[in-house]
Structure 1
Amino acid sequence: MASFIKVLTVNCNLKVINFNTKKSLTAYCVYYIITADKEVVCTNILISALSQTPIYEQIQNQIKEMVLSGNIKSKDQLPSIRLMAKDLKVGIITVKRAYEELEKEGIVINLQGRGCFVAEINLKKVKEIHIDMLRERLLEIKDFADTSGLSHEEIIEVVNEIYGGYKYDK
């Protein structure tokens, strides 16, 4: 299906933020993916233990954004589950779950014994995924607005300000 693609881990850092407990609160890894076209792609994955988002979801979202933005192309191989887990200092099951979720969404294909590769994604599928991602973020904004006592009209007003006026108001 796809050519052999090499993944090199170049830079992994753990940043200690909490000096009282000496716990690692963020992990940052840079992967250089050598694609089938002999192109080198640099990918950054940042994991934060302070985030309320589960770690598998942080990994999933960052990989998804890299694929949808075109930083990682179809047929490119992702780092192995074990390598990413080791580098990010997280459990293998955490990375495995992120890859499984990406596979359910049709973003990646897992080939037994060969690795995990970016799937062929058509533009219509990309747009659907972007709309789903937007919907998730808007639900977070709605929850925030509800707890803050902001009205629907106030939210629309802020969105119109961001887009440069009221010409988008319908």
Structure 2
Amino acid sequence: MDILINSNSKEALFQQIKEQIKQQIFSGELKEGDALPSMRLLAKDLKVSVITTKRAYEDLEKEGYLISAVGKGTFVAGQQPHVLKEWQIRELENELEKVVQEGKRLGLTKADLFERITIYFEEEL
């Protein structure tokens, strides 16, 4: 499991860990039943506090992405395809909310935002 921490980011360390684990689940890199490193091992590898990894794992468990078994470890929870898609859509909506708020802050109109979205949507990736 590859996680990169950006110590210069404004995003909290636990949030960076959490988001990267989610992305690995969404992409299929992490699959149902896959074991995650222990909180201590991950903290050591990332050179962060165990409290940081604990918070990320606990949040992901509350959100249904992970399951923990005492004495066995933490594993990727089983996701049904439609549930996984709903999670991905919710994540996208959260990002869109941030974009709209920033657009409003900059004084952009709805038409300005739609124009920019259209350009990116039609762009070849």
User: What TM-score bracket applies, with the shorter chain setting the length?
Assistant: over 0.9
Q: What is the aligned partner in structure 2 of residue 70 from structure 1?
A: 28
- Which of 77, 81, 106 is the equivalent residue of 1:123? 81
**TM-score, length-scaled by structure 2:** 0.93
Instruction: Give me the whole-angstrom Cα distance separating, in 1, the residues matched to 2:17 and 2:46.
Output: 10
Q: What is the aligned partner in structure 2 of residue 8 from structure 1?
A: none
Q: What is the aligned partner in structure 2 of residue 138 from structure 1?
A: 96
- SS where residue 75 of structure 2 aligns? strand
Q: What is the aligned partner in structure 2 of residue 49 from structure 1?
A: 7
Provide runs of 4+ in structure 1 moved above 4 Å.
Answer: none
C-alpha RMSD of the superposition: 1.2
**What stretches of structure 1 of length at least 5 have no aligned partner?**
1-42, 166-170
Greater per-residue strand proportion:
1
**TM-score, length-scaled by structure 1:** 0.69
Q: State the 1:140 CA deviation.
A: 1.5
Task: Please give the residue correspondences for 1:1-170 in structure 2 after superposition, counting only pairs within 5 Å.
Answer: 43-164=1-122
Write out per-residue CA displacement over residues 43-102 of structure 1, whole angstroms, 9 at most, x where no aligned residue: 320111211111101000000110111001110100110001011111101100100111
Structure number with bigger Rg: 1
**What stretches of structure 2 of length at least 5 have no aligned partner?**
none
Matched-pair identity in %: 41
Greater per-residue helix proportion:
2
